[in-house]
Chain A
Amino acid sequence: MASLVLPLLMMGVATGCAEEYPQSSISPHTDFAEIIHSLYVSIFWWSMLILAVVWVLLAWVIVKYRRKSEDEKPRQIRGHLGLEIGWTIGPALIVIAIAIPTIQAVFATQQPVADDAMTVEVTGHQFWWEFHYPEQGVTTANELWLPVDQPVNLRLESNDVIHSFWVPKLGGKRDLNPVPAVREGQDPKYNWLYFTPRETGVFMGQCAEFCGQSHALMAMRVVVETEEGFQDWIDRWFASEGADFPGDPEPEEPELQMPGMDPDDEPDETQVAAEDEDPLVALGRETFLNSTCIACHGVEGTAAQGVIAPNLTLFGARKTLGAGIMENNQENLVRWIIDPQGIKAAVAMPGTEYPGGNWPATGLSDEEVEAVAAYLLSLK
């Protein structure tokens, strides 16, 4: 049987060798993922045992009882009670051996949350992720930053269709459901995912529930940092733009002026360029803050306060662009701003020449696009 090599292959998989697979589900890096993995390994070996028994028996009868002559008259055996009981009880015992640790793990992975857990509110959108840290007051997108060894509790919900949060090395997935409206005074029901990262590093994740045209392109990165690294990131988030400008006032209400917005509008007073600033970046900032971008996007410390698209604060520090689908660099970013839908179908963002997400084309020139990209990448 050609398929006899298969279990050997599977054994290889069970015993590790998963490091070159950045999204491997059998390479645990949290307590949560470890529970799952050890359960998986034990069920895997039970399965191999059963498979071996079935295949060996099958091979045996195939070889041994092949018909030798048409006149053979095998004994007509109709059954055997003892055997029937045997192969009912045997599997039943194995089922129990699998089910008990499974149910223990079910409860272990959905246990009450530790008091010191950090909450992050995750909202799924077609086709990107929003991460809000209520305790820190920080909002970011597509790249989730977490401190190592700190229990984290993700509150999951969706803004449109069902998505599913899956970062295999950090543990199993859970769906982001649209939360049904409830009557006043009742609590809406959210999904939660709870784990403690054990190692620093960058982990790949991807939306695991089919959510429309660009479901394939709804990825993300999780950056697990040291305690200090994480705190530094938070600090930088608040400092991002205004940091160079002590005494920066509260950002003004965004001017939700529509297309055809006057480009001569005076830029925000506080956005005076620092002395040594690249003129391209300065131009980019000005262009960005005066175009439709800010109707949807927000950048902390500026007039850009849009909330319906990824928050772009510290965007330059992100490793990837477009919800984890490509490297975040000038070239890709320019391509993105010019033609987001060409890169990612059905994205709700206008390009330079066509509308998107209820907004008309941004109409930026190539030069302006270069500048905006440079500006966004400067946000670190």
Chain B
Amino acid sequence: MSSVGTAAPEQQDTSHGEETGLWSWITTVDHKRIAIMYFVTATFFFFVAGVKALAIRVQLMFPEQTLITPEVYNQFFTMHGTTMIFLVAMPMAVAFFNYVVPLQIGARDVAFPRLNALSYWVFLFGGLYLNSSFLFGAAPHASWVGYATLTMPEFSPGQNTNFWLIGLSILGIASIAGGVNFITTIINMRAPGMKLMRMPLFTWMTFVTSFLLITAIPVIGVALIYLGFDRLFGTVFFQPGGGGDPVLWQHLFWIFGHPEVYILILPAFGVISDVIPTFSKKPLFGYPIVVYAGLLIGFIGWGVWSHHMFTVGLGPIADSFFVAATMIIAIPTGVKIFNWIATMWGGSLKFTTAMLFSVGLVAVFTVGGLSGIMHASAPVNLQQHDSYFVVAHFHYVIVGGAMMGLWAGLYYWFPKVRGRFLDETLGKWHFWTTMIGFNLTFFPMHFAGLFGMPRRIYTYSAELNVDIYNQLSTVGAFIFGASAVIMVWNLVKSWRSGEKAPANPWGAPHLEWSIPSPPHHYNFPAIPEVRSREPLWNDGEREEILAKTMHEPDSEPVMPNPSYWPILLAASITLIWALVMTGIWWVIALAILPVIYCVFKWGMEPAFPEGH
């Protein structure tokens, strides 16, 4: 451990002869560029959804206000939730999967580069499609969980709910493709010596998350098919009059929905499990236990869905089962928390912004986790369900957990991406405004909820006496909004003129830090061999690796061709789904033709330059 960080190789800051220009971005299949596109798009949607949150907060600042009509309010909170979950938190994590995983395992790209590009474009078009509903004045308005029978045509006529269900189906395609891609990449593309139990925690959590993606998304996919059929073709899956049971929707939604929340949090856990050791100069405490805990969370996460349905009337036996299953998850999560603390214990802690966000996560996620345990107690849940207490819970775990973790990752990996540091002063401003704004926004919601304020209400009675909590929340939301502005400002500024960063600016132990910042488009001139969990922290092993990763290769490795078929295929997939709205079968059938054409051309196109 003698020379952590000191062996940082010569710094590089060239673009390595890569093509630039718009066309090169549209046709790129490079995982690093795709990652950047994911991140920028997700940040854009963060503002789109954040503005709606601010509108919600302004409307709720005083009781009985009428700034926003109920219909618009419903559209706002529905699209706020839907956008934040599907277009912000998930893709932002995918941005990190894309950038970091191949570098951490010593691969030149993901397993299926063009499929990767397809995922991105489908996500982008799906997101734009979903938000385009505002242009038609028909934004989804039945909440992000879209409970039947509120989504049935009698109660939600018009295209609003169609936009929602079709938009989500499109996004599902992107997620499944992404999941398949990352599972294959992690199984199959590891550098020699990179055993599973040597993989960095972030890669591990990507692996678990990808499994959750490929297994959870099909369930909501089927639910959305049912919903679409009920709305467009007259089936009776959720129609009580025809014998259908609206509660079935809830089961299907939450069988997907609960694994989904772990899809949101596990990547963040992965990030801070890499960040904390680096800035403590100590290896992760209890590495195998932390890995197993992550696996266990993902696994048990499948058996707890009905804790969202304690008020539905499933009976005491089912309730008890889901109480027990849910509470058990506290144990592996706690194990992670304690292992992070133990990693810091006796370490040499350096509070960079990345580290601040990580420690902040441990502090505030725990609050959200504990309110989760309160919800998990079925009788208590009967009081808290669908009140602002729940809103407090999930913003604590999502914003204080998932988002803070991803922002930690942003400050951590930005130097690798750009070869420049993010400004640490602005970073600290970002962190502290986030902490203050976030807690001020969401902590008072606990009280509002306990004192009887239901969620999803566009106004509330002065009698409830919860004005003060709402006012604090609103003020907090604006402070939090300001923090987001600081973050973007920092990104823009540092991208252009940040302080130059060497290959391994933080003295971190994993492979991604063994190559120049920014990396070559082929990542590794030669694939290194790994002999331990912290290869760059071991004298000898480090030098061997750097000998392979820091030298210009004799001949450039062959990389896949750029391709415009991903974007065209994505466009045609979006088109066909969008046309489902018409409910006219032959229009839909005709729209299959471009899809078939694109798939065919894609298949015929050589993935690699001629001769390889």
Contacts and interface: CB of A to CB of B under 8 A. Distances in A.
Interface of A: 1-3, 6, 9-10, 13, 18, 20-26, 33, 35-36, 39-40, 43-44, 47, 50-51, 54-55, 57-58, 61-62, 65-68, 72-80, 83-84, 87-88, 91-92, 95, 98-99, 102-103, 105-107, 109-110, 126, 156, 160-162, 164, 166, 168, 171-175, 177-182, 191-192, 204, 206-217, 219, 325, 345-346
A67 B283 contact: no
A123 to B, nearest CB: 13
Given A54-B341, A74-B348, A91-B335, 17 more contacts: A3-B439, A10-B446, A35-B379, A40-B374, A55-B363, A58-B341, A83-B286, A84-B289, A102-B379, A164-B385, A166-B386, A177-B246, A181-B241, A209-B386, A210-B142, A213-B70, A346-B70
A77 B379 contact: no
B208 interface: no
A334 B283 CA distance: 73
Contact of B451 (A25, A72, A83): A25
B327 interface: yes
B383 A79 contact: no
Interface stretch (B30-38, B180-188, B211-219, B453-461): B453-461
Interface string B337-371: 11101101111111100000001001110110011
A13 B447 contact: yes
Nearest to B143: A210
A40 B384 CA distance: 10
Nearest to B152: A161
Nearest to B377: A102
Interface stretch (B14-22, B311-319, B563-571): B311-319
Contacts of A88: 331, 335
B346 A77 contact: yes
B363 A58 contact: yes
Sort A-B residue pairs by CB-CB distance and give the 8 closest, nearest first: A172-B382, A23-B452, A216-B457, A191-B313, A72-B348, A178-B240, A47-B370, A25-B383
B452 A25 contact: yes
A181 B243 contact: yes
Contacts of B324: 99, 103
Nearest to B323: A102
Nearest to A4: B363
A171 B240 CA distance: 28
Contacts of B315: 110
Interface in B304-322: 311-313, 315-316, 319-320
A6 B439 contact: yes
Given A39-B380, A54-B337, A75-B346, A179 B311 contact: no
A74 to B, nearest CB: 5
B359 to A, nearest CB: 7
B313 A174 contact: yes
Interface residues of B, number: 102
21 contacts: A2-B435, A21-B466, A58-B359, A62-B349, A65-B346, A74-B346, A74-B347, A75-B346, A77-B285, A107-B320, A161-B150, A173-B386, A175-B313, A177-B313, A208-B385, A211-B150, A216-B454, A216-B457, A216-B459, A345-B70, A346-B70
Interface string B264-297: 0000000000000000111101111100000000
Contacts of A66: 349, 351
Given A21-B464, A44-B374, A175-B312, A57 B149 contact: no
B356 to A, nearest CB: 10
B604 interface: no
Nearest to B320: A103
Given A66-B351, A109-B379, A213-B71, A23 B282 contact: no
A23 B452 CA distance: 5
B155 A161 contact: yes
A210 B334 contact: no
Nearest to A107: B316
Contacts of B371: 47
A186 to B, nearest CB: 10
B443 to A, nearest CB: 6
Given A51-B367, A106-B378, A175-B312, A25 B285 contact: no
B365 to A, nearest CB: 10
B242 interface: yes
B385 to A, nearest CB: 6
A193 to B, nearest CB: 9
B465 interface: yes
A3 B247 CA distance: 39
Interface string B141-152: 011000101100
Contacts of A95: 327-328, 330-331
Given A62-B359, A92-B331, A216-B70, A173 B382 contact: yes
A33 B379 CA distance: 9
A349 to B, nearest CB: 16
B591 interface: no
A173 B345 contact: no
Given A72-B281, A106-B323, A54 B366 contact: yes
Nearest to B281: A74
Given A50-B370, A74-B348, A168 B452 contact: yes
A78 B1 CA distance: 14
B74 interface: yes
B436 interface: yes
Contacts of B475: none
B230 interface: no
A2 B435 CA distance: 9
A371 B460 CA distance: 31
Contacts of A109: 379, 382
Contacts of B147: 161-162, 209-210
A345 B69 contact: yes
B465 to A, nearest CB: 5
B379 A105 contact: yes
B336 to A, nearest CB: 10
A164 B311 contact: yes
B282 A74 contact: yes
